[in-house]
Structure 1
């Protein structure tokens, strides 16, 4: 994995996240209207366009190996990875959703009902009331009469006045008051929480993806027949999986069958008291 592409004029240059997303075209999309481009820390290039894309390439190579038996060289770079992740806004440049300058579009801060607003106590609320029914719920929570709006919400000419109205309204109450109003509603209006707040509230960091049959990802137990959307996978007993190791000769074949679906004589064999993996198409062994 590299930052810049391995070919082209930047190949031999040093760089950081901000440089990679700059030459990918992504940085030009990020930022407020009439302000300079704004880099979102090193989330977009390093971790998303780089790490996550490289990880996806590794998974694809592993899947391909299952059919071919051959390994692959996985190559990724943060420029192309970031550009791929920005496919939606990049393609939207040709359509009304993103055809205006930075910060003047539907999802980049230009739309007053998809933005953040400061509250009376200096905190913030986020608003994402794009659909009509969600917008109606937002107005209800804000105690704004739809008839008093400066114009149709779809009319971009009304957006500045609508943004001013929302700005004044949100500043009239503390964030906790707005939370009490909007919690449990379909207004798409939630607090902008900070990590210190989450830590004080006992926020638990969870895996981003869970797999029901895997041994090492469950955080808490769940029922076998519960709907897939509930919980975080049944996993194993307890609140998490901690490897205690397996003593030599203890439950190895059972675990391989349960976790991998492997069978002795097909994927592995017993050699000198230990389990060894059989190479595909040959019989030399590789130690597990």
Structure 2
């Protein structure tokens, strides 16, 4: 592929141009993983079910379906499974997010797909994984994080665990690990001609994210409870503080040189408690909080702007999209009336792009039937 490779709309194709991905419709981490592959240029065909979506926004507003094409197949109807197998025979990667055993019962499990396409990488996205006592049980992000020992790390020491939306489990522990697994297995398949199954479980990925903390725990540098450690809000120089207008500033002045700049700009005074003495942390936190409470978020933002004190205002989603740095980088973009994150990461020669708006179920059936040479697809 060359840096000038573009699609018919003139947008760059991305580093995954030429990779075909079959996504069996689901919710949460599977669709996001497929979106990430599509953002990077893969040709993602989503197999939607007949009828309205069971959960989530209307298809036109579901940004995780951007850059994809959609066909509708009823897997429970005669011939439905055969159509999906025809598509799988032409795909490099497949993503499904059913409970264990469901794809097999529908006739589109790994054995059936790999029989048609031995080089296929078959990605399975679940919360609990394909085996183990909880594998057949329902679940959601919050429960996976709780079980993996992650949710209990987040929040104040004397309060309940904080809930990080569904970003940490579904998308960090789920989608991103599935994408890494798919691309690694694709590399192997292209070298050997042999596909395989990728079992991506949110509990596994979320647990894997804590590897550094397990090392700190073994070294006696981490306490197995929340809100008392260096990186979980326990340290007064790594946390959030309320301002006079009800906003918050995030402080990450970990290194001594950053701490020195922070205390100078905060006008904390030379008599501030020694930050190296854990016993003095509560008093130091109170001193910092008292200072931040004297000015507004905008005023403190101006004070720390351009410094290395590692302080930033805590922004809402809409505020983040308007931040000068993110605006300059094009981190957010607006297409078809939807403000949304632009593709990431960035590539110097083969950048990703927003080529298509969110796919409506079935709108690309004729295109896919032609491009993937699956004449049995019914455009109606």
- The question of a shared fold, defined as TM-score above 0.5 by the shorter chain, is answered with yes
Which runs of no fewer than 5 residues in structure 1 stay unpaired? 218-240, 244-274, 277-288
Q: Output the TM-score relative to the length of structure 2.
A: 0.55
Determine the structure 1 residue equivalent to 2:213: 89
Write 1 or 2 for the structure with the bigger share of strand: 2
Alignment of 1:239-278 (within 5 A): 242=355
Query: Distance between the aligned counterparts of 2:212 and 2:225, measured in 1?
Result: 16
Aligned length: 221
C-alpha contact (below 8 Å) 2:346/2:352 kept by paired residues: no
With CA pairs under 8 Å and 6+ residues apart, which has the higher RCO, 1 or 2? Answer: 2
1:27 aligns with 2:154: no
Alignment of 1:107-256 (within 5 A): 107-146=231-270, 148-150=271-273, 152-199=274-321, 203=327, 204=332, 205-214=341-350, 216-217=352-353, 242=355
Per the alignment, in what secondary structure is the counterpart of residue 93 of structure 1? helix
Change (3 A) 1:143 1:102: same
1:8 Cα deviation after fit = 2.1
Determine the structure 1 residue equivalent to 2:164: 40
Which runs of no fewer than 5 residues in structure 2 stay unpaired? 1-124, 333-340, 357-370, 373-380
Per the alignment, in what secondary structure is the counterpart of residue 190 of structure 1? strand
Q: Which has the larger radius of gyration?
A: 1
RMSD: 2.2
Q: What CA deviation, in whole Å up to 9, does each residue of 1:220-266 have, x standing for no partner?
A: xxxxxxxxxxxxxxxxxxxxx748xxxxxxxxxxxxxxxxxxxxxxx
Per the alignment, in what secondary structure is the counterpart of residue 240 of structure 2? strand
Per the alignment, in what secondary structure is the counterpart of residue 196 of structure 2? coil
Query: Distance between the aligned counterparts of 1:197 and 1:126, measured in 2?
Result: 15
Query: Distance between the aligned counterparts of 1:198 and 1:81, measured in 2?
Result: 27
Query: Distance between the aligned counterparts of 1:86 and 1:100, measured in 2?
Result: 12
1:215 Cα deviation after fit = 5.0
Query: Distance between the aligned counterparts of 1:216 and 1:38, measured in 2?
Result: 34
Change (3 A) 1:9 1:242: closer
Change (3 A) 1:120 1:212: same
1:199 Cα deviation after fit = 4.1
Per the alignment, in what secondary structure is the counterpart of residue 112 of structure 1? coil
Per the alignment, in what secondary structure is the counterpart of residue 168 of structure 2? helix
Alignment of 1:2-21 (within 5 A): 2-21=126-145
Change (3 A) 1:215 1:19: closer
Query: Distance between the aligned counterparts of 1:96 and 1:208, measured in 2?
Result: 36
- Say which is worse superposed, 82-91 or 122-131, in terms of deviation: 82-91
1:161 Cα deviation after fit = 0.2
1:96 Cα deviation after fit = 4.3
Query: Distance between the aligned counterparts of 2:272 and 2:288, measured in 1?
Result: 11
Per the alignment, in what secondary structure is the counterpart of residue 130 of structure 2? coil
1:78 aligns with 2:202: yes
Query: Distance between the aligned counterparts of 1:189 and 1:212, measured in 2?
Result: 30
C-alpha contact (below 8 Å) 2:249/2:314 kept by paired residues: yes
Q: Output the TM-score relative to the length of structure 1.
A: 0.71
Q: What CA deviation, in whole Å up to 9, does each residue of 1:157-178 have, x standing for no partner?
A: 0100000000000010111111
Query: Distance between the aligned counterparts of 1:95 and 1:175, measured in 2?
Result: 38
Query: Distance between the aligned counterparts of 2:268 and 2:314, measured in 1?
Result: 22
Query: Distance between the aligned counterparts of 2:305 and 2:264, measured in 1?
Result: 13
Determine the structure 1 residue equivalent to 2:85: none
Per the alignment, in what secondary structure is the counterpart of residue 210 of structure 1? coil
